């Protein structure tokens, strides 16, 4: 198996009914006109954007959605084995980021077991700190130790005043929620990662704040080697915001190329809420 995103220079073009399908850079784009393409990113050959009148129209013309986060986890498991090798994964721990990374990680764990790789799964309880004008866009993360970590580039660019009482109240609220989730998801127990290879899994990386929080938690828990496995991510955040080498990342699609929102990759839309995560964990426990 090869990743849809693994060969940056391979472009396949097929014709059917006057419509071109162009595959490469992790994308399958359906277009009726060669002019719908304009060079955009790393590859001068592929392409990455479509000149259409609306975001929805552009989205509807691209066919790379996952059915849900379980589907993404199964696909990601296969590619992670090929990307890193079975030997690297034998003693690894899947560290799933709450909330969206939990169904991805559980599906990944199940698929790897089918491939005779039985990995332990633990949950990194990290809470995104959203920007004041858009809570869905993160500028930092509440880490497991109860301390906020900020992406200084984003905060400075957005001119966020962290000394405002309203902001401090918001951070305290997120800290409280994070502590409650630790009790809910892990019974208040600490992560047990000393000397282990850790694979941080989430449903995607937009600006890296949640994954950075998980990495900090893994390092604090004594992880020896940290890898990342994501269905989708923005390649631009790896070096710019996370200082992560491509060699330590398994990804299926690059979120940068089409300017999509993360949830657009999933046919079922939004990620799970906390009660759904608990239901999934209880189901897994009852099956063991």
Examine the domain organization and report whether 77 and 39 are in the same domain.
Answer: no
Examine the domain organization and report whether 56 and 194 are in the same domain.
Answer: no
Q: What is the mean pLDDT of the chain?
A: 76
Average pLDDT for 50-77: 67
Residue 37 has pLDDT above 60, yes or no: no
For residue 283, what pLDDT band results from cuts at 50, 70 and 90? low
In a domain, 250, yes or no: yes
For residue 94, what pLDDT band results from cuts at 50, 70 and 90? very high
Examine the domain organization and report whether 25 and 99 are in the same domain.
Answer: no
Cβ 107 vs Cβ 72: under 8 Å:
yes
Residue 43: what pLDDT?
30
Of 15-24, 33-42, 171-180, the one with minimum mean pLDDT is 33-42
Examine the domain organization and report whether 45 and 76 are in the same domain.
Answer: no
Number of domains in the chain: 2
Examine the domain organization and report whether 77 and 56 are in the same domain.
Answer: no
Examine the domain organization and report whether 50 and 77 are in the same domain.
Answer: no
Residue 17 has pLDDT above 50, yes or no: no
Higher pLDDT: 189 or 201? It is 201
Examine the domain organization and report whether 198 and 267 are in the same domain.
Answer: yes
Examine the domain organization and report whether 97 and 236 are in the same domain.
Answer: yes
In a domain, 237, yes or no: yes
Residue 91 has pLDDT above 80, yes or no: yes
Examine the domain organization and report whether 120 and 36 are in the same domain.
Answer: no
Q: For residues 94 and 280, give the distance between their C-alpha atoms in angstroms, rounded to a whole number.
A: 16
Examine the domain organization and report whether 55 and 188 are in the same domain.
Answer: no
What are the helix (H) ranges across the chain? Answer: 55-60, 69-84, 86-89, 101-114, 152-158, 165-186, 209-220, 235-240, 274-287
Examine the domain organization and report whether 209 and 265 are in the same domain.
Answer: yes
Cβ 98 vs Cβ 126: under 8 Å:
yes
In a domain, 146, yes or no: no
Residue 268 has pLDDT above 70, yes or no: yes
In a domain, 206, yes or no: yes
> pLDDT (tens digit, 9 = 90+) per residue, 177-189?
888 888 888 888 8
Range of the domain at 40: 12-60
In a domain, 28, yes or no: yes
Residue 122: what pLDDT?
93
In a domain, 160, yes or no: no
Examine the domain organization and report whether 42 and 78 are in the same domain.
Answer: no
């Amino acid at each position: 198996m090869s990743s849809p995103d693994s060969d940056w220079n391979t472009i396949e073009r097929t014709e059917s009914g006057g419509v071109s399908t162009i595959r490469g850079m992790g994308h399958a784009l359906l277009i009726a006109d060669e002019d719908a393409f304009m060079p955009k990113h790393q590859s001068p050959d592929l392409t990455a954007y479509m000149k259409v009148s609306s975001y929805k129209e552009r989205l509807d013309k691209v066919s790379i959605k996952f059915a849900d986060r379980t589907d993404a986890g199964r696909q990601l498991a296969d590619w992670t084995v090929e990307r890193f090798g079975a030997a690297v994964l034998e003693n690894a721990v899947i560290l799933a980021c709450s909330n969206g990374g939990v169904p991805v990680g559980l599906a990944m764990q199940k698929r790897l077991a089918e491939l005779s790789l039985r990995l332990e799964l633990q949950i990194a309880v990290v809470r995104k700190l959203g920007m004041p004008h858009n809570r869905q866009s993160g500028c930092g993360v509440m880490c497991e130790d109860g301390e906020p970590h900020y992406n200084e580039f984003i905060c400075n660019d957005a001119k966020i005043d962290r000394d405002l009482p309203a902001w401090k109240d918001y951070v305290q609220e997120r800290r409280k929620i994070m502590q409650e989730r630790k009790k809910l998801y892990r019974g208040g127990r600490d992560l047990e990662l000393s000397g282990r290879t850790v694979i941080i899994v989430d449903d995607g990386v937009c600006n890296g704040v949640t994954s950075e929080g998980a990495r900090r938690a893994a390092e604090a828990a004594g992880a020896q080697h940290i890898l990342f496995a994501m269905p989708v991510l923005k390649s631009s955040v790896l070096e710019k915001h996370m200082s992560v080498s491509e060699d330590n990342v398994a990804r299926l699609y690059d979120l940068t190329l089409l300017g999509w929102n993360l949830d657009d990759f999933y046919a079922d839309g939004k990620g799970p809420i906390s009660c759904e995560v608990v239901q999934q964990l209880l189901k897994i426990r009852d099956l063991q």
